[in-house]
Amino acid sequence: MSDRTKQPNPIDKQIGQRVRTQRLVIGMSQEKLGDALGVTFQQIQKYEKGTNRIGSGRLHQIASVLGVPVNFFFQDLGDENPEKADPGLAGLVNDKAGLELLRAFNRIKTPATRQAILQLVRSVADPAEAEAQA
């Protein structure tokens, strides 16, 4: 018998991170998500860390509760090495100001207003890039 502990699959970790990200963006606790799914908050922690795989039926339930399509969890996974994926969104969610920005942006319902805000943020973040995209 091996003493090695099984490491989470990188794809499972990425999907778990997407669950966590969306949960935080909408301001939902692990406990509330667990209650909606009929599982404990500890189980949600395991899903988010990738230590427990999320079955397809459960992922469908999670998507419904979090208000996103199931494919949200698979966008941009591609063939790249998940270990080297861009940590930008995770970093944004882990930053208090970044999370606040995401939550506020999520409440904007008008597409034109969303585009204007996005353009403003682009221009402040990188003026040269904003001009190229205009």
pLDDT at 103: 83
pLDDT at 1: 46
Residue 85 · residue 41 · CB < 8 Å: no
Cα separation of 98 and 78, whole Å? Answer: 25
Provide the residue ranges of all domains of the chain, joining segments of one domain with +: 1-94, 96-134
Specify the fold of 1-94. 434 Repressor (Amino-terminal Domain) (1.10.260)
44-89 per-position pLDDT tens digit:
999 999 999 999 999 999 999 999 999 999 887 755 554 555 566 6
> Structure pTM?
0.69
pLDDT at residue 134 tops 70: no
